[in-house]
């Protein structure tokens, strides 16, 4: 309630602040008419930010001030974020539609089919796990609509891959069902799924019937919660001085998922690992616990070849070039792909 009260007062507070700061150096910059589009859409304040960064010695304070003005008065952040309702933030990548998106799309789908055939020649099954966009799941919390909806990005991609014979797990439906049932499956201020969202995904993979079950039993040990601010808050750099006006921090559920009786395992345990996971930070970031949930639900250990900051295609290329020839025991590769990467520019290694 306190944050809502602050939000309601911010228009007045920051309007006064902007007026005061503007008077200080009004002679140094020419201002447009009050009805100018620059004033109405906030671009004037972005210009003023650059002006005052030159005039004020304390640039961190100025950066924080103007970031707060843009966020509080215009519901905007820097390029890279789309501000929704109730402090929900969305990545601009989920809105961008490159001019060559059709070429990128077709090329990426062709690459997936090619990898499927390449793995098959080695006796390895490929299972694609297609992650929907956060704005697709939580579209009711943002006014701006994504062009990705208009091109039917998720459904068209899934149907095309299935038509080409690629085994695929659709995560969109179970994540939306979980959200509708009250579970938080994506973080409010972060690009990624929550620990619960990762668990929903792992369970959906198991329930698909496409992954063979092992015999290992895993136990979940809750460890409490920790506070964090998601990666999308980097585009609203209010700084410590204006932290009360920034999106509120949220919490991550911390837990350990361990194999039952792990402490009693023999040093000479010869159990093999038949599943490899390739993917992005949705898998590689240990905070989300996706690998752990996957092991719990499939009842077997999973070899993790996911990477942070490379997208989904570079890790797969690296796996095929460096691991495939020696992957004697691997029977299945689970490939986690956020759907937005299917129309994005290629990620460099």
- The DSSP annotation for 277-296 comes to EE--HHHH-GGG-HHHHHHH
Please enumerate in sequence order all residues whose Cβ is within 8 A of that of 8, keeping only pairs 6 or more positions apart, or say none.
Answer: none
What is the tally of structural domains in the chain?
A: 2
Of 136, 190, 292, 304, which one is the catalytic site residue?
190
Read off φ and ψ for residue 254, nearest 5 degrees: -105, 135
Question: Same domain for 53 and 186?
Answer: no
Question: Is the same domain home to 51 and 112?
Answer: no
Whether residue 56 sits in one domain with residue 197: no
Name the pairing type of β-strands 167-170 and 275-278: unpaired
* Number of Cα atoms under 13 Å in the Cβ half of residue 24: 10
190 as an active site residue: the answer is yes
Residues of the domain holding 166 = 99-240+250-342
Residue 328 lies in a domain: yes
Catalytic residue among 148, 192, 283, 292: 192
281 belongs to the catalytic site: yes
In a domain, 185, yes or no: yes
* 94 in a structural domain: no
Is 114 found in the same domain as 58? no
**Structure pTM?**
0.83
What values do phi and psi take at 193, rounded to 5? -75, 160
Residue 85 lies in a domain: no
**Which of 274, 281, 283, 307 is an active site residue?**
281
The predicted pLDDT at position 27 comes to 40
Would you say 116 and 163 are in contact if contact means Cβ atoms under 8 Å apart? Answer: no
> 285 with 193, same domain?
yes
Question: Within this chain, do residues 137 and 217 fall inside the same structural domain, yes or no?
Answer: yes
Q: Is residue 215 part of a domain?
A: yes
Helix (H) or strand (E) holding 110: helix 101-121
Residue numbers in the chain where pLDDT is lower than 70: 1-58, 262-272, 348-349
Q: Which of 88, 309, 286 is nearest to 187 (CA)?
A: 88
> What tens digit of pLDDT does each residue of 82-98 get?
999 999 999 999 999 99
Give which of 176, 158, 177, 160 is closest to 168, Cα–Cα. 158
Are residues 107 and 155 both part of a single domain? yes
- 194 lies in the same domain as 47: no
192 and 124 assigned to the same domain: yes
255 and 156, same domain (yes or no)? yes
**Does residue 142 lie within any of the structural domains?**
yes
Residues 43 and 188 in one domain: no
Q: What sign does the dihedral 312-110-277-283 (CA atoms) show?
A: positive
Q: Which of 76, 109, 140 is the last residue of a domain?
A: 76
Together in a domain, 294 and 327? yes
Q: What is the C-alpha to C-alpha distance for residues 14 and 242, in angstroms, rounded to an integer? A: 11
* Predicted pLDDT at 63: 87
Q: Is residue 90 part of a domain?
A: no
In a domain, 299, yes or no: yes
């Amino acid at each position: 309630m306190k944050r809502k009260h602050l939000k309601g007062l911010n228009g007045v507070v920051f309007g006064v602040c902007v007026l005061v700061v503007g008077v200080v150096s009004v002679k140094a910059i020419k201002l447009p008419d009050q009805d100018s589009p620059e004033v109405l859409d906030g671009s004037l304040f972005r210009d003023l930010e650059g002006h005052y960064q030159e005039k004020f010695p304390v640039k961190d304070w100025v950066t924080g001030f103007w970031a707060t003005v843009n966020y509080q008065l215009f519901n905007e952040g820097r390029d890279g974020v789309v501000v929704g309702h109730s402090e929900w933030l969305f990545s601009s990548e989920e809105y961008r539609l490159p001019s060559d998106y059709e070429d990128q799309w077709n090329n990426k789908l062709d690459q997936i089919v090619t990898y499927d055939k390449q793995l098959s020649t080695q006796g390895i099954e490929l299972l694609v796990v297609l992650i929907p966009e956060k704005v697709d799941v939580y579209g009711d919390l943002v006014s701006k609509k994504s062009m990705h909806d208009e091109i039917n990005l998720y459904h068209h991609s899934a149907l095309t891959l299935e038509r080409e014979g690629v085994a695929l797990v659709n995560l969109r439906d179970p994540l939306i069902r979980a959200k509708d049932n009250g579970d938080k499956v994506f973080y409010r201020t972060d690009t990624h799924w929550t620990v619960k969202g990762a668990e929903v995904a792992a369970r959906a993979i198991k329930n698909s019937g496409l992954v063979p079950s092992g015999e290992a039993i895993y136990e979940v040990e809750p460890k409490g919660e920790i506070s964090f601010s998601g990666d999308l808050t980097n585009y609203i750099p209010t700084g410590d001085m204006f932290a009360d006006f920034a999106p509120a921090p949220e919490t991550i559920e911390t837990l350990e998922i361990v194999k039952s009786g792990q402490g009693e395992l023999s040093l000479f345990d010869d159990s093999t690992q038949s599943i490899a996971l390739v993917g992005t930070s949705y898998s590689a970031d240990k905070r989300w616990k996706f690998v752990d949930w996957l092991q719990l639900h499939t009842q077997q250990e999973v070899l993790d070849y996911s990477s942070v900051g490379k997208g989904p295609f570079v890790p797969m290329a690296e796996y095929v070039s460096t691991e495939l020839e020696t992957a004697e025991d691997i029977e299945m590769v689970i490939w986690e792909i956020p759907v937005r990467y299917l129309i994005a520019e290629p990620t460099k290694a």
